C-alpha cells in the first residue's frame, strides 16, 4: 500500500499494542500510510486496555501514540445518519456502523481485524497468523 489513506478500527490498534497482529505493526509503522481513527475507537481502546489490567500511564501512552500517528475523526450528523443505513444493510452493531461510516465519510480504506465487516465495501480484514493445529 503506497500513500494510502487507511482508517484503522480499534481491533487493529489493539493488535498493534498487544503484539498479536503482525500486519497491524506493518501498517502502523509504515511511513507510506496516512492513518485515521474514529473518536469512538479511542473509547474502545481505553476500555479494552483497562479490562486487560493496563495502568493509566500505559493506556495514556497508547492514546498519545494514536494521536501522534493518526488523524482522529469526530462524529457529525452525516456520519450518524449514514450509520443507520449501515446497521441495516451490513447487519452491523451501532458502534461498528458509526466507525465504518466515519471511514466512508473520509473516503478511506477501512482496516479491521473484525469479521463482522466481511460484507462491507472498501474494507480490508487482517487476521492473526495461523498458529497451526496439532
DSSP string, 30-89: -TTEEEEEEHHHHHHHHHHHHHTT--HHHHHHHHHHHHHHSEEEPP-HHHHHHHHHHHHH
Q: Look at residue 56 and tell me whether its pLDDT is greater than 80.
A: yes
Q: What is residue 127's predicted lDDT score, i.e. its pLDDT?
A: 85
Q: Look at residue 108 and tell me whether its pLDDT is greater than 60.
A: yes
Per CATH, the number for 4-73+108-125 is 3.40.50.1010
Q: Look at residue 132 and tell me whether its pLDDT is greater than 80.
A: no
- Mean pLDDT for the chain? 93
Q: What is residue 52's predicted lDDT score, i.e. its pLDDT?
A: 96
- 123 pLDDT band, cuts 50/70/90, is very high
Amino acid at each position: 500500500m503506497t500513500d494510502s489513506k487507511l482508517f484503522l478500527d480499534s481491533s487493529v490498534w489493539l493488535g498493534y499494542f498487544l503484539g498479536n497482529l503482525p500486519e497491524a505493526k506493518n501498517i502502523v509503522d509504515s511511513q507510506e500510510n496516512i492513518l485515521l481513527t474514529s473518536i469512538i475507537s479511542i473509547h474502545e481502546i481505553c476500555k479494552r486496555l483497562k479490562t486487560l489490567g493496563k495502568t493509566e500511564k500505559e493506556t495514556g501512552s497508547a492514546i498519545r501514540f494514536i494521536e501522534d500517528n493518526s488523524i482522529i475523526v469526530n462524529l457529525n450528523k452525516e456520519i450518524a445518519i449514514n450509520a443507520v443505513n449501515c446497521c441495516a444493510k451490513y447487519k452491523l452493531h451501532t458502534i461498528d456502523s458509526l466507525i465504518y461510516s466515519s471511514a466512508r465519510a473520509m473516503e478511506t480504506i477501512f482496516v479491521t481485524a473484525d469479521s463482522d465487516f466481511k460484507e462491507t465495501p472498501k474494507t480490508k480484514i487482517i487476521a492473526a497468523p495461523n498458529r497451526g493445529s496439532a
